[in-house]
Amino acid sequence: MNYNEIFNDINFHLLNDAHPSEYLDKISRSEYFEQYPFNILLAQKHTKQWLKYHPEGVVWNHTMLVVDKAAELKFKSKDPEVFMWASLLHDIGKPDTTKEHKGKITSYNHEKIGEKLAEEFLLTLGCGEEFIKKVKSLIRWHMQILFVVKNSQFADIKEMIKQTDINEIALLGFCDRMGRLNADYDDEKQNINIFLNKVNAIIQ
């Protein structure tokens, strides 16, 4: 099986399965995921997260929850294919950025590293330039919901709206936040509304 065939298989399940995680878990145990570029995804299985915020455990577990939530909500996306690949690759930068210190686990700037890795990953699979641009932009800005809501110094609304669609970011961000075992639906919907209100105030 070549890269193009694997991409098409994953793409089919992302777009058609109610729970794409079932197929992804299966293929992740195959020999393909031991090889480049799929080993970039495989590394998520060995990347810990701070259990305070991610009781589901390693990054791969979180990603699978996010992908399944995204599959449930992809009908709300303007481009379901881009959206589903962004959900799969949104934390691809965590293995390279995760650090542990005194029991606290962080992955600062994983969205920036993830943008680059996603481009590399999708280029290797033969994806087109415009598709890659859209996917990596969602990955680059998916943390802005947290930053904007908390009035963080890392919030950059003006640059974000130049590069991507805020409604797609909001949708991906909601799936990301719901992809945790301790997620609260009402709290996360409120956070998304706060994010959109603040961003729309800037746009207007």
Low-confidence ranges of the chain (pLDDT < 50): none
8 Å CB contact between 3 and 126 = yes
d(CA 14, CA 125) in angstroms, rounded, equals: 16
pLDDT of residue 4: 83
Fold classified for 3-203:
Hypothetical protein af1432 (1.10.3210)
Domains of the chain, by residue range, sit at: 3-203
d(CA 115, CA 98) in angstroms, rounded, equals: 16
pLDDT of residue 103: 86
Structure confidence by residue, pLDDT tens digits, 107-165: 999 999 999 999 999 999 999 999 999 999 999 999 999 999 999 999 999 999 999 99
pLDDT of residue 1: 67
The predicted model scores a pTM of 0.97
Residue 37 CB burial class (10 angstroms; 0-12, 13-18, ≥19): middle
**DSSP state, residue 98:** -
d(CA 63, CA 49) in angstroms, rounded, equals: 12
Question: Cα dist. 160→9, 97, 145, 170 in Å?
Answer: 31, 22, 11, 12
pLDDT of residue 203: 86
Closest among 20, 40, 39 to 30, alpha carbons compared? 39
